[in-house]
Chains A and B, each alone.
Chain A
Amino acid sequence: MTPRGAPSSTTVWLDPALSRFTPLSRILFFDDFDRGLNGWTALVGNYERSLGSMLPEYRDLRPPMLSNISMWDTGTVGGLDGTYALKLATRPKAGSMAVALKRLTWRYAGPLRLEVIFTYKPEAVALELLETQVRAFGFAFDLQVGDRASGPVERVMPHLRYVNALEGRRMEKWQFKRAVEPMRDIGDSGRTRSHFHLAPTGWEDVPDGAQRLCYNEIATKHNWYYVRIGFDLGSMSFTEFRCNDRVFDASGIAPMRFPAVPNAWCMINPLMWVEADAATRAFLYVDSVILSAEVDS
């Protein structure tokens, strides 16, 4: 009998890096950041003619980099394996965010599974615990149906975040967001619009979503975590959500849904982000990430 949560194929066990994951039948990408950024790039807001036309919230989203996770007191941490991890670093300012995303399109409106091995920390700027300096980190998709969709012609954005702290108070819980931020016109052509889906408003608690993670005892010690998010492109709904040993009820969480936009058919953009809660840089590190799907052929 296959143990619960075991990889779906014995082939997976031949690769120790892949064996950490439980992918669906088709791997769309498997990114180990020892091989580079693998197409994970910075998020910029929509603009027309001038960068200044961008919504203010989008103007300074910080870009990803490759880090060997070197600490002032102990030296290099490295990845879960190998040397490098993707790193997102905010500015040292409460509310500052760093975002990485990857852009592709889908070919079958079926189940998706995103699995990520990650850790988070504030910059070790003081000889203190600093455990409330990181406000939140999260994982999301930006999706749209195909141009011949038979159902609702929608753009759909499943978002999940872990709120670690808010204004210096420990929160330590998962949240989702189905509230849609207002769509605003950009420039004067009538062809460009934008909305800031990562805004702090509209987040709801995942049912029974409180979870204490392994922050460890000082700011320079890092423990890796596992998160899994399942989403079905057919029903456009969450199918699973897990972090480490905790499996949450996916029926209690929902994505943002709103009318499709003209130029994003079959879009599937996974996103990751981190947000600072204080005047200290907040870091999210990702050792590896895998997106898998069930496909028709």
Chain B
Amino acid sequence: MIRRSHTAVVERDVLWTGPFASEPYEAAWASEAVFFVRTLEPGTLGPGAAARVQLSPDGMLWTDEGTTIPLRAEPGVTFGRVSHFGGWLRLAGELRPSDALKVIVYLVLKE
């Protein structure tokens, strides 16, 4: 049996500024995942700006998984890989109030 896979666009054309979190996405069927963060247009970021992968038992309470994904101010893409993540995944982080980044977030899941 070929392995099932799915790419979800969990955020599209969204402007991140200050604290941000992607909408929860259920992934209990998958055993591996890659979050891609695509910067759509030039933005502003402080040094070390990143998104943290988070896990949740119920889609409501979140805790850091440990993986961080660097963000880039210029158009392009960065990613982070995770596995053994249970039922829910999201990205969270905090930009400086003066910073802003317009992104698409892809969650690529595979059995």
Residues on A lying within 8 angstroms of B by beta carbon are 36-37, 42, 44, 51-52, 59-60, 62-63, 65-68, 70-72, 83-84, 87, 89, 91, 123-125
Contacts and interface: CB of A to CB of B under 8 A. Distances in A.
Contact of B26 (A59, A68, A123, A125): A68
Given A51-B13, A72-B60, A66 B29 contact: yes
A125 B56 CA distance: 14
24 contacts: A37-B6, A42-B9, A44-B12, A51-B12, A51-B40, A59-B12, A63-B8, A63-B10, A65-B8, A65-B26, A65-B27, A66-B6, A67-B28, A68-B26, A68-B29, A70-B28, A70-B57, A71-B58, A72-B61, A83-B29, A84-B28, A89-B23, A123-B59, A125-B60
- Give the secondary structure class of B's interface: loop
A42 B104 CA distance: 14
A42 B57 CA distance: 25
A59 B87 CA distance: 27
Contacts of A52: 13
A36 B4 CA distance: 7
Contacts of A87: 26
Given A71-B58, A84-B29, A123-B59, A89 B24 contact: yes
Category for how many chain B residues contact A: 20 to 34
Nearest to B8: A63
Nearest to B11: A60
Interface in B33-87: 40, 57-61, 87
Interface of B: 4, 6, 8-10, 12-14, 23-29, 40, 57-61, 87
A60 B28 CA distance: 24
A84 B27 CA distance: 11
B3 to A, nearest CB: 11
A67 B27 CA distance: 7
Contacts of A60: 12, 14
Nearest to A47: B13
Contacts of B27: 65
B6 A36 contact: yes
B6 A123 contact: no
Most buried by B among A36, A63, A89: A63
A51 B26 CA distance: 25
A89 B28 CA distance: 16
A62 B26 contact: no
B26 A72 contact: no
B11 to A, nearest CB: 9
B53 to A, nearest CB: 17
Nearest to B107: A65
Nearest to A44: B12
A89 B25 CA distance: 9
Contact of A63 (B9, B57, B60, B61): B9
Given A36-B6, A51-B12, A62 B58 contact: no
B8 A67 contact: no
A119 B27 CA distance: 20
A240 B59 CA distance: 38
Contacts of A44: 12
